[in-house]
Amino acid sequence: METTRYRTSREASEHRSVWRNWDGNVTARPARDVAPASVEELRAVVRQAAEDGLTVKPVGSGHSFTPAAATDGVLIRPDRLTGIRAIDREAGTVTVEAGTRLKTLNLALAREGLSLTNMGDIMEQTVSGAISTGTHGTGRESASIAAQVRGLELVTADGSLLTCSDKGTDEERAVFAAARIGLGALGVVTAITFAVEPLFLLTAREEPMTFDQVTATFDELHTENEHFEFYWFPHTGNCNTKRNNRSAGPLAPVGRLSSWFEDEFLSNGLFQVASSLGRTVPATIPAIAKISSRALSARTYTDIPYKVFTSPRRVRFTEMEYAVPREALVETLRELKTMVDRSDLRISFPVEVRTAPADDITLSTASARESAYIAIHVYRGTPYHQYFSAAERIFTAHDGRPHWGKLHTRDADDFAKAYPRFAEFTALRDRLDPDRRFGNAYLRRVLGD
C-alpha cells in the first residue's frame, strides 16, 4: 500500500506543488498530488486519504473557471486513467476511462466509424470533467454530453467501486440521475459509458446576420436547424450565425486556406492581438468590434461531426454562462445588449448563444426545461466584475441557472429554488459522502453543508 502511495504521489512538503486551471484564475496547493495508474490504486488513495483525514478532489484539464476542483487535500490527476475499455456496436455504446480527453475519444470513434451525437465547441476536456460540470453544445433535440451517458463507474468515499445506470436498482438509478453532472461531490468517476451512433456528416452554414434579424427570427432558426448558435459582437448590431444539419454528403471540408484564415488567423491570431490591444487601450474596443464582426464571411462546409462542432480556442479568457428558459432568451439578450450599450463597459469578446432540449439529470442546467445559453467572456487579465455582475442580475431575473464550471455568485439557497430536484441531490450526497471526503469551499457554497 505504501509503495503504491509514494510511487503515484508527491507528498506534502514545505514546497507543495501548485495546480492551476486553464485560465489561471484558480490555484491550489494540495498536500498530495496523485496520478493513479489503475482503479485499484485510486481506491487505495481514497481509503488512505480517509485514514489521514484529508479531502479528495479529482481534476480534469482545468477548463472550469470555478474552484470546483481546488483542494488542500489530495489532488487526483486522471492522466493515467485513459483509453477505451470497450465498444459495443450492438448496444451502440463505448466505455472509456475517465481521464480520456474528448479529442482522443472523438479521433478513436471516427476510426471505428462511430460518433457522439453532439459536442461542445472545444474538445480539450477530459470526459469526466466535461460531464461533471455540464459541458454542452447546441441542439434542438440532442442535449449535453452528460445526457449521452448510459452508465457510470465511480469510487465512493469509503473506497468502494459503484456502477450505475438507468437500468439498475432504485439506488443505482438515483446515483445515475445525479452523478452524470455530479460536480465531483458524489465520488471520483473512473469510467463512463456513452451512447454512440454510426459516423455521419454535418453540413455547416456560417453566415453574418444583424442582431435584430437573429432575435426577430430566433424561434424559426431554432426550429428549422438541428444545431443553431450565434455570436453577438458587443458595441455592434452584428452577429455571426452557425447552422449545423445532418447531410448525405458529399464530404466537403473547409479548405486549408479558408481554415487557416478564418479559424487561425482571424479567430485566434488576430483576435489575440486585438484583445491585447483592447485590454491596454479599452477605448479602441468598439472600433475593433466593428471590424471583427465584419471580418468573418459566409461559408458552407461538410465534414464528420467533431470537425464541425469544435474549433480551436487559443485565446484565453474568463467566462460566465447562464441557462435561461428558451422562451426567455430573446428578451434576456435584448436586456443584456441594452445594458452594455448604456454602460461605460468595453467588451472585446463576442457573446455566445446556444440551446438545449430538456433532460432528466438532477442538476443539469436544462433539467426539466428547454434552455438557451448565454455565455459572456472577457480576455484573460481584464477586469470583469462590473460586466459579470450586471449580466448576472439580468440572467437571474429570468430564472437563469449558471453553468457549474463558469463564474457565478449563486449559492445553495438559490439553487434550492432553481432546481426542483436539488434536495434529491443533496440527500444522495449525504448518503454517499456523509463526511464530505469530496468537499471543498466551492461545494459548500453551491450545495450547502
pLDDT category at 280 given cuts 50, 70, 90 is: confident
Q: What mean pLDDT is predicted for residues 1-17?
A: 39
- Alpha-carbon span 263 to 350, nearest angstrom: 15
Q: How many domains does the chain have?
A: 2
Q: What CATH number should be reported for the domain holding residue 321?
A: 3.40.462.10
pLDDT value for 391? 98
pLDDT at position 260 over 80: no
pLDDT at position 190 over 70: yes
Share of the chain above pLDDT 90, in %: 80
pLDDT value for 281? 74
pLDDT category at 263 given cuts 50, 70, 90 is: low
pLDDT digits (tens, 9 = 90+) for 129-153: 999 999 999 999 999 999 999 999 9
Higher pLDDT, 379 or 56: 56
Asked if residue 247 and residue 109 are part of one domain, the reply reads: no
pLDDT value for 14? 32
Q: Are the CB atoms for 169 and 423 separated by under 8 Å? A: no
Q: What CATH number should be reported for the domain holding residue 116?
A: 3.30.465.10
pLDDT at position 269 over 60: no
Asked if residue 218 and residue 291 are part of one domain, the reply reads: yes
pLDDT category at 288 given cuts 50, 70, 90 is: low
Whether 408 maps to a domain, the answer reads no
Asked if residue 271 and residue 123 are part of one domain, the reply reads: no
Q: What mean pLDDT is predicted for residues 226-255?
A: 94
Q: What mean pLDDT is predicted for residues 212-224?
A: 98
pLDDT value for 1? 32
Whether 440 maps to a domain, the answer reads no
State the residue range of the domain holding 370. 201-303+315-402
Asked if residue 219 and residue 183 are part of one domain, the reply reads: no
Cβ neighbors of 374 (< 8 A, separation 6 or more) are 321, 322, 324, 329, 332, 333, 336, 351, 352, 353, 391, 395
- Alpha-carbon span 45 to 4, nearest angstrom: 9
Q: What mean pLDDT is predicted for residues 329-346?
A: 97
pLDDT value for 204? 96
Q: What mean pLDDT is predicted for residues 231-258?
A: 90
Asked if residue 360 and residue 218 are part of one domain, the reply reads: yes
Q: Which three cell numbers stand for residue 328?
A: 426567455
Asked if residue 323 and residue 231 are part of one domain, the reply reads: yes
Higher pLDDT, 234 or 278: 234
pLDDT value for 8? 37
pLDDT value for 212? 98
Q: What mean pLDDT is predicted for residues 409-417?
A: 98
Whether 394 maps to a domain, the answer reads yes
E strand segments, 294-350: 299-303, 317-325
Nearest to 429 by CA among 204, 191, 182: 182
Secondary structure class of 293 (helix, strand, coil): helix
Asked if residue 219 and residue 182 are part of one domain, the reply reads: no
Q: Which of 175, 198, 221 is the last residue of a domain?
A: 198
Whether 106 maps to a domain, the answer reads yes
HSE value, Cβ hemisphere, 13 Å, CA-based, for 41: 18
Whether 5 maps to a domain, the answer reads no
Higher pLDDT, 122 or 325: 325
pLDDT digits (tens, 9 = 90+) for 90-135: 999 999 999 999 999 999 999 999 999 999 999 999 999 999 999 9
Distance in angstroms between the alpha carbons of the first and the last residue of the chain: 32
Q: Which three cell numbers stand for residue 120?
A: 461542445
Asked if residue 207 and residue 112 are part of one domain, the reply reads: no
Q: Which of 134, 168, 198 is the last residue of a domain?
A: 198
Cell numbers 472509456 correspond to 96
Whether 23 maps to a domain, the answer reads no
pLDDT value for 3? 31
pLDDT digits (tens, 9 = 90+) for 67-80: 999 999 999 999 99
For residue 177, count other CB atoms closer than 10 A to its CB: 21
What is the CA angle 245-247-248, rounded to 5? Answer: 170
Q: Which of 166, 198, 230 is the last residue of a domain?
A: 198
pLDDT value for 290? 72
pLDDT value for 268? 56
Adjacent-strand bridge partners of 215: none
Q: What mean pLDDT is predicted for residues 171-184?
A: 96
Q: What mean pLDDT is predicted for residues 9-29?
A: 72
Asked if residue 364 and residue 249 are part of one domain, the reply reads: yes
Q: What mean pLDDT is predicted for residues 12-27?
A: 76
Whether 147 maps to a domain, the answer reads yes
Q: Is the peptide bond before 434 cis (omega within 30 degrees of 0)?
A: no
pLDDT value for 271? 59
Whether 163 maps to a domain, the answer reads yes
Q: What mean pLDDT is predicted for residues 339-353?
A: 95
Asked if residue 218 and residue 190 are part of one domain, the reply reads: no
pLDDT value for 2? 31
pLDDT value for 13? 33
Asked if residue 239 and residue 112 are part of one domain, the reply reads: no
Asked if residue 220 and residue 140 are part of one domain, the reply reads: no
- Give me the chain's average pLDDT, please: 91
